[in-house]
Amino acid sequence: MKLFLCEKPSQGNDIAKVLGAGTRANGCLFTADKQICVTWGIGHLVEQFQPEEYDPAFKRWSFETLPIIPSQWKLSPKKETKKQYNVVMSLIKKANSVIISTDADREGEMIARELLDIAGFKGQIFRLWLSALDDESIRKALSALKSGKETESLYYAGIGRSRSDWLIGMNFSRLFTLLAQQQGYQGSPLSVGRVQSPTLAMVVNRDREIANFIPKSHFVLITQLQTQQNQTFLAKYVVPENYLDADELCLNEPYIQQVNRDIQNIGTAIVKTVETKREKNVPPLLFALSDLQSECNRLFGMGAQQVLDIAQALYEKHKATTYPRTDCGYLPESQFKDAPKVLSTIIKVNSNWQKILPNLNVIQKSRAWNDKKITAHHGIIPTMGNVDLSVMNDDELKIYDLICRRYLAQFLPYFEVDKTLVQLQCGRHILQARGNLIIANGWKALFGNMKESEADDNQGIPSLSKNQNCQIILSEVKALKTTPPAHYTEGTLLSAMKNAARFVTDERLKQRLRETEGLGTEATRAGLIQGLIDKNFLKKKGKKILATEQANVLIDSLPDLLKNPGLTALWEQALNQIAEGSMTLADFMKKQENFIRMLMNNCLKQGINLGKIEIRKCPLCGKPMRKIQHTKGTFWGCSGYPECQHKEADKKSVSKAKKSSSANVTQQIANLRSLIK
């Protein structure tokens, strides 16, 4: 039997349709002769062991057990998908050959091969390499199957990512929580992660930048001019460089007031140059998930996870849009022939679009169709199926509408605008006027009030010619103040995660982050932000995302390597070397283990500062109290033990605490240091 192993049910259905596998069985589809079978995971069907599954001693968090580094890594089936796991494993054992048909990326390779490894599969392995799930793309890929060896290294890169993330998360979350508890901290665990920690640091740093921001007063000189035809426009005085600070602001009020008096006394300005350039703006690309999340947050105040859930419903429940968890805004060129059908569906389900039908150019092929830009999935677009808007709720309608608008925009004319720059001379002073004149709204007509706010120079400039005299009818010095950056919202935080290279100073690392699309993936960013909120590291105030005191404490205590996006860049660089075959998984993991030990030792020396977090003090010696878990109950003990043996019952504990059996904290730390040297 030939087994096609897919990543998700919808993917399996699409491939099965092309293969003619229409006989449905439990968790799979067969051809009539049962020689071909298509089955699927539901993402990952297995997960990493928890520490206590390796050794029951790891269930209790203590310094002595750190660092936890498995000698042999193990996986267990996820409880929620155990039924499908059993189906897939039984089919693998019956198969002669397996065609890996998961997403064409590192994670997709891992989803399939971890199951093949567990099953001990010894047959032939092939790879179906797909970037889109339309029939033509599937047929093309089926005719050009890769050998399993060609993509095997992607699996090792995926394993490296998974295991190293586990090592960081499990070890440093425990370490920093224990260090904090040593000082009396009793809050929720101080969770650390390769992606979540630099994300959290971005919010903490932004909050501090705003809190510490000192407004800077500066001055601009605005003039209003009039032509002989009584047409008016605004111009701004161009301050000489020697009167500007490093931020190109004029701080010298007496100087600019003197210029204002000069201009008023002269009363006229002569046009020196007039430059007008017509700009033709192409429509925005189709939505990738993070772009959709950011736009919905800006327009509707929707959270990132909320948008993902709605997009998933549009894809799975309503069959109205394509796969949402994509990082790509492009489409395969083979899908351009489907454009008339997609457009027909959009207009059929929503008669309001009838009015733009005459403006649509169905043979206009925008930049969105580009095979070279396709990743594992293409941009989110409307489907060609039967879509029923009446069964969608308001939020689903809003997001479906946005996705339709982006697609429709590809077939509308360019947005055209004439940008004019005018230089004028007033005595020895230079004035500058900028203006925009919209020539054709084109695709922007679709977005109306959805557009970002326009620039300040959106004025119409009258027809001017060189050496023309204009009268100055008004001039005014405006006192302005610089403003701090805005607090993050879910939308802007998603954008910052995707473009994390801007926070890295090393040019090589900046490039690596650009290539790997920053922090996290399209599928994980929303959940990561929500996770930070659930863990009490972030809080929402209206649309703002703010860091809690717990977040500030953790970020202040973490070494730079764990909170700098540059670490992700270094990590991805090494993982890419595994994928390319220039580094082995064993070498990578050895380096990771050494890194964990070295960094843990440094963190122990540095300790943790709890900042403004309130802690419980010992009434006898004033040292922090620690909550201690004992087989006979929970109690509070002085961290000065054994010198101070004060203890108190824990109100939440049913049994009364007896003498603490916890080892001396100082000795625990000494033991740990000896382990990781």
pLDDT of amino acid 617: 74
Decide: 133 and 11 in contact? Cβ < 8 Å: yes
Is residue 22 included in any domain, yes or no?
yes
Is residue 154 included in any domain, yes or no?
no
Q: What is the CATH number of the domain that holds 386?
A: 1.10.290.10
Structure-model confidence comparison of residues 131 and 572, the more confident one: 572
Residues 319-343 have a mean pLDDT of 91
Q: In one letter, which amino acid is 409? A: A
pLDDT of amino acid 613: 72
Residue 174, token pair as written in the block: 């425990």
Residue 435, token pair as written in the block: 């203006």
Which domain-ending residue is among 144, 173, 197?
144
Examine the domain organization and report whether 119 and 243 are in the same domain: no
Is residue 157 included in any domain, yes or no?
no
Cα separation, 249 vs 242, whole angstroms? 11
> Which is nearest to 112 in space by CA: 102, 120, 122, 104?
102
| Catalytic hit among 85, 156, 315, 323 | 323
Place of tokens 């109690």: 635
pLDDT of amino acid 128: 96
Is residue 611 included in any domain, yes or no?
no
DSSP track, 272-320: EEEEEEEEEEPPPPPBPHHHHHHHHHHHH---HHHHHHHHHHHHHTS--
Residues 30-48 have a mean pLDDT of 96
Examine the domain organization and report whether 344 and 395 are in the same domain: yes
Examine the domain organization and report whether 242 and 271 are in the same domain: yes
The domain tally of the chain equals 5
Q: What is the CATH number of the domain that holds 59?
A: 3.40.50.140
Residues 42-70 have a mean pLDDT of 94
At 610-645, the pLDDT tens digits run 777 766 778 888 777 776 767 667 777 887 788 888
Q: Where are the beta strands (DSSP E) in 463-524?
A: 469-481
At 542-559, the pLDDT tens digits run 999 999 999 999 999 999
Examine the domain organization and report whether 396 and 441 are in the same domain: no
pLDDT above 90 (res 589): yes
Confidence class of residue 516 from pLDDT cuts 50, 70 and 90? low
pLDDT of amino acid 670: 52
Residue 322, token pair as written in the block: 């394509």
Confidence class of residue 177 from pLDDT cuts 50, 70 and 90? very high
The proportion of the chain whose per-residue pLDDT surpasses 70, expressed as a percent, equals 93
Examine the domain organization and report whether 6 and 120 are in the same domain: yes
Least confident range from 92-101, 432-441, 445-454, 569-578: namely: 445-454
Cα separation, 153 vs 145, whole angstroms? 17
Examine the domain organization and report whether 322 and 301 are in the same domain: yes
Confidence class of residue 659 from pLDDT cuts 50, 70 and 90? very low
Cα separation, 567 vs 585, whole angstroms? 18
Examine the domain organization and report whether 361 and 275 are in the same domain: no
Which domain-ending residue is among 454, 481, 508?
481
Examine the domain organization and report whether 6 and 125 are in the same domain: yes
Examine the domain organization and report whether 67 and 113 are in the same domain: yes
Least confident range from 43-47, 538-542, 630-634: namely: 630-634
Cα separation, 495 vs 486, whole angstroms? 14
Residue 426, token pair as written in the block: 């007033």
pLDDT above 60 (res 224): yes
Q: Which domain holds residue 294?
A: 289-409
pLDDT of amino acid 452: 53
Is residue 472 included in any domain, yes or no?
yes
Q: What is the CATH number of the domain that holds 233?
A: 2.70.20.10
Active site residue 323: yes
Least confident range from 80-89, 207-216, 379-388, 392-401: namely: 379-388
Q: In one letter, which amino acid is 619? A: P
Is residue 151 included in any domain, yes or no?
no
Examine the domain organization and report whether 504 and 569 are in the same domain: yes
Q: What is the CATH number of the domain that holds 181?
A: 1.10.460.10
Is residue 92 included in any domain, yes or no?
yes
Examine the domain organization and report whether 8 and 121 are in the same domain: yes
pLDDT of amino acid 275: 96
pLDDT of amino acid 289: 94
Q: What is the pTM of this model?
A: 0.82
Examine the domain organization and report whether 251 and 180 are in the same domain: no
Is residue 641 included in any domain, yes or no?
yes
> Which is nearest to 573 in space by CA: 492, 506, 658?
506
Residue 377 CA, chain-centre distance (Å), reads 16
Residues 56-81 have a mean pLDDT of 94
Cα separation, 297 vs 492, whole angstroms? 9
